[in-house]
């Protein structure tokens, strides 16, 4: 007796999962090495790599080490890096961020020379360069409270972007969250003839507990106050869309949602609404927590990471900024 018709139907899901080849054939979401962006930290303060305790496997690098690291990433299929710099000196206005011979500018030149086809993206922000550790210029008001001054900060950020482009950066990524900075950066780039350098903007960047390890890595923790006056409140999804809309209107070419895991809904909505190339930033805290659990043997790193990468793409990410970029690229070829 053949089974009743509804049982034929009911068995369809299982039939499509019967073996690995079949599962592969019907898989909707795939991660590719070319989707990955590797963040790297280059420091002017060191002569040899310095491990970041809260991010096992990630180090602060000298320019020469950075070039090696980027070249080895390129070899396994990673096509893009995102640079953060740690300068020797900091000041109120973060002048190291827009110095022609600043550490990021030096690194960009060295990278473009050694690995010319590698896409070099630079983080455009002031927090690693200001003595107070904020992403913009600050002032102490009469109330004794400090304020981040939006417009003077934007002016400096535009200078940072231009100096990165002049050093040879392929793409600039402003992460400061000041208002109007995308427009200011676009005009400044255009005025200097860098009309073809795209802006990948951190459109929806939330004030997050998941940035902790990064602040050790980039030595950019605020010395007073926090970033809640310019980064977004984690409860606000509609505001995230408004922030993204502003950046799109100001001519951002690509958008970033950050952090990743706790904000997959935002990622989905930003992608659906604007349809621009959208990146997700799988931030330092997300890295640290899986590393720590894996070290204890509480979960399998590779399985968890690949699942997480797939979830980013499923939620709409075209690109994934991740400290695992090299491992993921390698795992993909081993599959
Ligand atoms: C700062 C910046 C931060 C990150 C990238 N750029 C930290 C912050 O806003 O405090 C975080 C990245 C990470 O946690 O991996 N402009």
**pLDDT score, position 77:** 97
Q: Is 156 in the pocket of ligand 1 (CB under 6 A)?
A: no
- Report the distance separating Cα 218 and Cα 60, nearest Å: 8
Q: Average pLDDT, stretch 216-222?
A: 82
The helix or strand, by DSSP H or E, that contains position 185, with its residue range, turns out to be: helix 181-191
**pLDDT score, position 21:** 94
The answer on pLDDT for 40 being more than 70 is: yes
Residue from 209, 172, 206 nearest 189 by CA: 172
Pocket test for ligand 1, best of 55, 206, 220, 279 (most atoms within 8 A of CB): 220
Q: Average pLDDT, stretch 132-151?
A: 82
Q: Is 81 in the pocket of ligand 1 (CB under 6 A)?
A: no
Whether the ω angle into residue 259 lies within 30 degrees of 0, i.e. cis, is: yes
142: number of Cβ within 10 Å: 5
Q: Average pLDDT, stretch 308-329?
A: 98
- Report the distance separating Cα 202 and Cα 257, nearest Å: 6
Is 258 catalytic? The answer is yes
To which residue do tokens 């997480």 refer?
308
**pLDDT score, position 3:** 67
- Report the distance separating Cα 331 and Cα 33, nearest Å: 10
- Report the distance separating Cα 80 and Cα 74, nearest Å: 8
Q: Average pLDDT, stretch 147-164?
A: 92
The answer on pLDDT for 5 being more than 80 is: no
> What ranges do the domains of the chain cover?
31-334
The answer on pLDDT for 123 being more than 90 is: yes
pTM of the model: 0.94
Per annotation, catalytic residue among 45, 113, 205, 313: 205
For the 31-334 domain, the top CATH level (class) is alpha beta
CA 123 / ligand 1 centre spacing (Å) = 9
Q: Average pLDDT, stretch 128-151?
A: 83
Residue from 305, 326, 291 nearest 81 by CA: 326
Q: Is 135 in the pocket of ligand 1 (CB under 6 A)?
A: yes
Token representation of residue 264: 């997959």
């Amino acid at each position: 007796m053949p089974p009743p018709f509804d049982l034929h139907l009911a068995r369809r899901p299982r039939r499509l999962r019967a073996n690995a080849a079949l599962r592969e054939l019907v898989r909707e979401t795939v991660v590719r090495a070319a989707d990955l962006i590797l963040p790297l930290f280059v420091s002017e303060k060191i002569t040899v790599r310095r491990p970041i305790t809260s991010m096992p496997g990630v180090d602060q690098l000298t320019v020469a080490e950075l070039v090696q690291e980027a070249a080895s990433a390129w070899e396994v299929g990673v096509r893009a890096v995102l640079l953060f710099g740690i300068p020797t000196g900091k000041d109120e206005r973060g002048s190291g961020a827009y110095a022609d011979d600043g550490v990021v500018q030096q690194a960009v030149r060295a990278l473009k020379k050694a690995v010319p086809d590698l896409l070099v993206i630079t983080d455009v922000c002031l927090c690693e360069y200001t003595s107070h550790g904020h992403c913009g210029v600050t002032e102490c008001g009469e109330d004794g409270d400090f304020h981040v001054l939006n417009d003077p900060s934007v002016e400096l950020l535009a200078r940072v972007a231009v100096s990165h482009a002049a050093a040879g950066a392929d793409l600039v990524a402003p992460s400061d969250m000041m208002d109007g900075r995308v427009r200011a950066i676009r005009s400044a780039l255009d005025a200097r003839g860098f009309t073809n350098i795209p802006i990948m903007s951190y459109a929806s960047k939330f004030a997050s507990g998941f940035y902790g390890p990064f602040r050790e890595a980039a030595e950019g923790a605020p010395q007073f106050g926090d970033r809640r006056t310019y980064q977004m409140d984690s409860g606000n999804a509609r505001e995230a869309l408004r922030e993204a809309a502003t950046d799109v209107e100001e001519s951002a070419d690509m958008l970033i949602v950050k952090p990743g895991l706790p904000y997959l809904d935002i990622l989905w909505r930003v992608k659906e609404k604007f349809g621009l190339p959208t990146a997700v930033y799988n931030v330092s805290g997300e890295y640290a927590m899986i590393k720590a659990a894996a070290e204890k043997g509480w979960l399998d790193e590779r399985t968890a990471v690949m699942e997480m990468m797939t979830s980013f793409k499923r939620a709409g990410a075209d690109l994934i900024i991740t400290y695992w970029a090299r491992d993921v690229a390698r795992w993909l070829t081993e599959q």
